[in-house]
Every structure is written in structure tokens, then in C-alpha cells.
């Protein structure tokens, strides 16, 4: 999974960013040949992930590390999340929170779908709720 690779690389002290159509490695000296090879293999997926994160932020979503989750507040205590699952699919979840740290009401809107489908469903749900 791309998120796991990026976490591992960052844990070694190398940040990965985008520079045009290229990946920029900040302090690549800490990476092994295996890490560099994996990053090269996953380049297009990493660029796509960075694009997703940028688009989500532009549309008001809070983006968690490496696109593992996206959060949008839709009411005083209501939130919508898009979660990346370990199998590469995504889940859209809605929660209503009281004063507790856990939700008092929750609902899965859709699960087991691509990012594009999940993000579209989440965005449509947010628009509907905010009307």
C-alpha cells in the first residue's frame, strides 16, 4: 500500500513531495536501493495521491497523513469521513458526536469502492446536508 511505503520512507527521514511530474526526495541518502525502487514503481500512484490530497484541501476537506482519511464537518457535531481501507478500497462514514470522543450516531454511506466513487458520494452527501 502506498501509504505504508510513504510512512516508512518518512520514518527514515526522507520526505516525498511533488515537483511537476516528478517526485522529489528530500534527503534520499537515507533510502536503500529497495526503497528507491519501490518509490519508482509507485510513482504514478504517489503523484495521484498527492493530487487527490491537494484537490480535497481546495474543496475544504481536512486531509490526514498520506490520504489515509479525509474529514469534512457538516454540522455542529456532524462529520463525514472517507477512509482508505487496507485492501485499497475506500469507505465513506458519517458520525454525529455528543460530548464524548465516540459517535452517538453513525452510518456507513458506502464501502468497498474506489477513491473516485467514495469521494464523489461523500461530496454529494456533504452538499445535500449543507442545503
Q: What angle do CA 38, 39, 44 make, to 5 degrees?
A: 115
Both 72 and 112 in one domain: the answer is yes
Q: Is residue 107 part of a domain?
A: yes
Does residue 1 surpass a pLDDT of 80? no
Let me know if residue 49 belongs to a domain.
yes
Residue 131 pLDDT: 81
Contact 122, 92 (CB under 8 A): yes
Shared domain check, 84 and 46: no
In a domain, 87, yes or no: yes
| Domain coverage including residue 124 | 68-130
Domain count, the chain: 2
Model confidence over 5-57: pLDDT tens digits? Answer: 999 999 999 999 999 889 999 999 999 999 999 999 999 999 999 999 999 99
Look up residue 16 and give its three cell numbers. Answer: 516525498
| Bridge partners, residue 95, by sequence | 79, 106
Q: Which three three-digit cell numbers place residue 70?
A: 479525509
Mean residue pLDDT across the chain: 93
* Same-domain pairing of 72 and 121: yes
Are 72 and 126 within one domain? yes
Residue 62 lies in a domain: no
| Residue 78 and residue 31 in one domain | no
pLDDT at 60: 94
- What pTM did the predictor assign? 0.85
* Average pLDDT of the residues in 97-122: 93
b/e for 88-116, b at 16 or more Cβ within 10 A? eebbbbbbeeeeeeebeeeeebbeebebe
Amino acid at each position: 500500500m502506498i501509504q505504508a511505503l510513504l510512512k516508512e520512507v518518512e520514518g527514515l527521514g526522507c520526505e516525498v513531495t511533488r515537483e511537476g511530474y516528478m517526485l522529489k526526495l528530500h534527503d534520499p541518502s537515507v533510502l536503500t536501493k529497495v526503497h528507491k525502487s519501490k518509490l519508482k514503481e509507485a510513482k504514478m500512484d504517489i503523484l495521484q495521491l498527492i493530487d487527490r490530497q491537494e484537490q480535497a484541501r481546495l474543496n475544504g476537506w481536512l486531509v490526514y497523513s498520506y490520504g489515509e482519511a479525509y474529514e469534512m464537518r457538516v454540522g455542529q457535531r456532524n462529520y463525514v469521513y472517507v477512509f482508505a481501507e487496507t485492501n485499497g478500497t475506500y469507505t465513506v462514514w458519517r458520525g454525529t458526536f455528543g460530548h464524548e470522543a465516540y459517535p452517538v450516531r453513525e452510518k456507513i454511506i458506502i464501502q468497498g469502492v474506489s477513491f473516485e466513487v467514495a469521494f464523489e458520494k461523500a461530496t454529494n452527501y456533504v452538499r445535500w446536508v449543507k442545503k
